[in-house]
Amino acid sequence: MRRVIFNQKGGVGKTSITCNLAAISASRGKRTLVIDLDTQANSTQYLLGDAEYDCSIADYLDQKVGFFEVAKPANEFVFQTEFNNLFIMPACKRLPEIEHKLESRYKIFALKKALEALEEFYDEIYIDTPPALNFYTKSALIATDSVLIPFDCDAFSKSSLESVSSAIFEIKEDHNENLTIEGVIVNQFQPRAKLPLQLVNELIEAGYPILGSRLTSSVKMKESHQQSSPLIHFAPKHNLTKQFETLYDELNNNIAK
């Protein structure tokens, strides 16, 4: 299973959702890979902390190949985190620098090729994307089976959902007929507040595939970021951790149907 987490609006929880779902997958015994395509490298920091690494997704994509040069396989750019079964292909500061060069070299399908090879080694693959429909996001949407869209119960996030959905269906139409919106994840939900419930109900009425699980706000998330430890390890009994586990189970139960 390949999943990309994408929204053009920043601050909706893409990194938190990516890393915590991946960590739960790994804790259930599945070899799980996170690919960090966000130039801010937040997933990399979350899962590797201050650990040093000498290559990244940028190095994989920017490899030179020719008659006398053979590209290194994608798995050589993957690092084991300190958590069992959890791996990451990290981001780095070079991603913005090489974007135009990769576009000019028609590397838009390079990630798809990488994932086809990586599926031999990993049961689940999660891709964190930048908050923009740029080269890296398009590469991820072309390369994956499904998209998860975080929604942070904000009026601005609601207005951006239509453009996000249109962008996804355009990629589906032109490059990846198997691409589907697996669901919209309601994040930072406040069950006692009127506006979040109103916004969610409006999205359901509009026909968006809103997942039943809800993720609430908690300072534990920020603490887990600071400690570079996903919630399933940092606070396994916390309510937000249980919500992530419920979300993970919902996603996999939907696949099984």
Domain-wise residue ranges, the chain: 2-256
Does position 66 have pLDDT exceeding 70, yes or no? no
* pLDDT tens per residue, range 126-135: 999 999 999 9
* pLDDT tens per residue, range 174-188: 999 999 999 999 999
Average pLDDT over residues 12-32: 97
Residue with tokens 């300190």: 82
Q: Say what the pLDDT of residue 70 is.
A: 79
Cβ contact 170:147 at 8 Å: no
In the predicted model, what is the mean pLDDT of the chain? 93
Band (pLDDT 50/70/90 cuts) for residue 159 is confident
Does position 67 have pLDDT exceeding 70, yes or no? no
Q: What are the CA-CA distances from residue 11 to residues 7, 24, 35, 155, 205 (Å)?
A: 9, 22, 19, 13, 25
CA proximity to 96, closest of 56, 149, 53: 56
Band (pLDDT 50/70/90 cuts) for residue 69 is confident
pTM comes to 0.95
Q: Say what the pLDDT of residue 257 is.
A: 63
Does position 156 have pLDDT exceeding 90, yes or no? no
Q: Say what the pLDDT of residue 237 is.
A: 97
* pLDDT tens per residue, range 233-250: 999 999 999 999 999 999
Does position 13 have pLDDT exceeding 70, yes or no? yes
Q: Say what the pLDDT of residue 162 is.
A: 86
More confident residue, 10 or 169: 169
* pLDDT tens per residue, range 93-116: 899 999 999 999 989 999 999 999
Rounded to whole angstroms, how far apart are CA atoms 62 and 105? 10
Q: Say what the pLDDT of residue 160 is.
A: 83
Q: Say what the pLDDT of residue 89 is.
A: 97
Q: Say what the pLDDT of residue 187 is.
A: 94
CA proximity to 35, closest of 101, 96, 92: 92
Rounded to whole angstroms, how far apart are CA atoms 255 and 140? 20
Q: What CATH homologous superfamily does 2-256 map to?
A: P-loop containing nucleotide triphosphate hydrolases (3.40.50.300)
Alpha helices in 29-131 (DSSP H): 42-48, 57-61, 95-104, 110-118
Q: What are the CA-CA distances from residue 107 to residues 57, 61, 63, 111 (Å)?
A: 13, 8, 10, 8
What angle do the packed helices 239-256 and 14-27 form, to 10 degrees? 70
Rounded to whole angstroms, how far apart are CA atoms 254 and 233? 25
Cβ contact 75:117 at 8 Å: yes
Q: Say what the pLDDT of residue 192 is.
A: 84
Cβ contact 34:87 at 8 Å: yes
Cβ contact 57:37 at 8 Å: yes
* pLDDT tens per residue, range 191-211: 888 888 999 999 999 999 999
Amino acid at 245: E
Q: Of 2-11, 53-62, 67-76, 143-152, where does mean pLDDT reach its minimum?
A: 67-76
Band (pLDDT 50/70/90 cuts) for residue 28 is very high
Q: Say what the pLDDT of residue 10 is.
A: 84
Cβ contact 184:208 at 8 Å: yes
